[in-house]
Amino acid sequence: MKGDELSYLVGARGNERAHYAALKGVLKSATPANLEFKYPNGAFGSRKSIGMLGQALETAFVGAYMGAVTSLQSNELKAVAAEIGACESRHLSVLTNIAANAIVPAPDLPTVLTAAKATAAVTPFLA
């Protein structure tokens, strides 16, 4: 990755840190700590593999945040989840295009995931 795509990914990483901080601001001591990801061999070996990894993770994240908005009780937490979900949706679009090496139309409506389905989707990537 280089140029604009690399710059985008660096910015997306900053977004992820901001998302964690926003959640921590609401969840306080209930915020998950020391969460680490593991990645399949070759996940960063090519532009396409990076895009495919990002597409898999962002699909789970978008669905999880959409599910959170419908299941959470706290309006403050719902607002944070909606904001993060919207940002993750942008990441998903860019990474889908990188994975396909083309401009891919966005789906009409992303799939809403329950907490269990979102967890199952990201579990292969958790260390």
Q: In sequence order, what are the beta bridge partners of 37?
A: 126
- pLDDT number for residue 94: 93
Residue-level pLDDT at 41: 95
Q: Are 110 and 63 in contact (CB under 8 A)?
A: yes
Would you mind telling me the total number of residues written for the chain in this entry?
A: 127
pLDDT value at residue 112: 86
The answer to whether 92 touches 107, Cβ cutoff 8 Å, is no
Give the model's pLDDT for residue 38: 93
Averaged pLDDT in 10-residue chunks for the chain of 127 residues: 87 94 93 92 94 94 92 92 93 93 80 90 92
pLDDT of 2: 81
- C-alpha–C-alpha distance, residues 49 and 40, integer Å: 10
Q: Count structural domains, the chain.
A: 1
Could you give the residue ranges of the DSSP H alpha helices within 28-74?
47-71
Sign of CA dihedral 51, 55, 56, 61: positive
pLDDT at 1: 75
Segments forming the whole domain that contains residue 36? 3-125
Sign of the CA dihedral 122, 85, 81, 24?
A: positive
